[in-house]
Amino acid sequence: MTRIAVVTGGTRGIGEAISLKLKEKGRHVIANYGGNDEAARAFSARTGIDVRKWDVGDHQACLDACAEIEGQFGPIDILVNNAGITRDATIMKMTFEQWDEVIRIDLTGCFNMAKACFPNMRTRSWGRIVNVGSVNGQGGQIGQVNYAAAKSGIHGFTKSLAMEGARFGVTANAIAPGYIATEMLSTIPDNVMEKIVAQIPVGRLGQPEEIARGVEFLTSDNASFITGSTLSINGGQHMY
């Protein structure tokens, strides 16, 4: 049986690697994206993966998109809540808009998508939800009170969802990536980047593929007794 997997933010960065890995392992992948049509088209042409545009921060858009996907391909078995943005600034400079936007997309987006997918997973007694958190949700970071709050929220959200799904064969786990070599790092000044890499015991940035392998495992049948956990993949940057 081919499992249907939805990956939010699944056409670029870590999400692209996750979509590719799930496809490689035989899942039917639908990759969501929020804005960059050109990148999504190129990704779809390159990989043959179906792409769909909607805003994960929009509750109704998530319900509509998931209903459409289920109508076309069948029930969603696997949800990877990967979509996320940064709007970094220290609290002295951060605007309410920067706070709101990050919470809406990074955290409320996970709720919106789980709300759309969880009921059918529960009814069918099988489901895998993986939420992408962050080392900065675990440890905090200068310039990220919004992002760290959202990502930290994801970890609590995951544990509660895991408790609700456990009796029904639906697992919920989080991955907490460290600093991964993607476009998201492009806004970090060089001198700050040097300080960050110096804090990573393995001495380098991670690769998107290194996160995708963890996600693939948590969405597989092999991970049936793992729920409510956080898999930290960060080169040793955060160890507790």
Q: Which residues bind ligand CAA (CB under 6 A)?
A: 86, 88-90, 134-136, 141-144, 147, 177, 179, 184-185, 187-189, 191-192, 195-196
CA 108 vs. chain centroid, Å, equals: 12
For the bound state, the minimum distance from the C-beta of residue 26 to ligand CAA, rounded and expressed in Å, comes to 29
Q: Cβ closer to ligand CAA: 48 or 189?
A: 189
Full DSSP string of 154-170:
HHHHHHHHHHHHGGGTE
Name which of 84 and 127 has its Cβ closer to ligand CAA: 84
Q: Which is nearer to ligand CAA, 170 or 200 (CB)?
A: 200
Q: Which residues contact 93 (CB under 8 A, 6 or more apart)?
A: none
Q: How far is the CB of 9 from ligand CAA (least distance, A)?
A: 12
Q: Residue 109 or residue 143: which is nearer to ligand CAA going by CB? A: 143
Q: Residue number with the shortest CB distance to ligand CAA? A: 143
Catalytic member of 33, 147, 179, 240:
147
The answer to whether 90 and 143 are in contact (CB under 8 A) is yes
| 240 belongs to the catalytic site | no
Share in percent of the chain as helix, strand, coil (round to 5):
50, 15, 30
Residue 240, both tokens: 């507790």
| Distance, CA of 113 to CA of 160 (rounded, Å) | 15
Helix 109-124 and helix 145-165, axial crossing angle in degrees, nearest 10: 10
CB 148, min distance to ligand CAA, A: 9
For the bound state, the minimum distance from the C-beta of residue 162 to ligand CAA, rounded and expressed in Å, comes to 21
What is the set of active-site residues?
A: 147
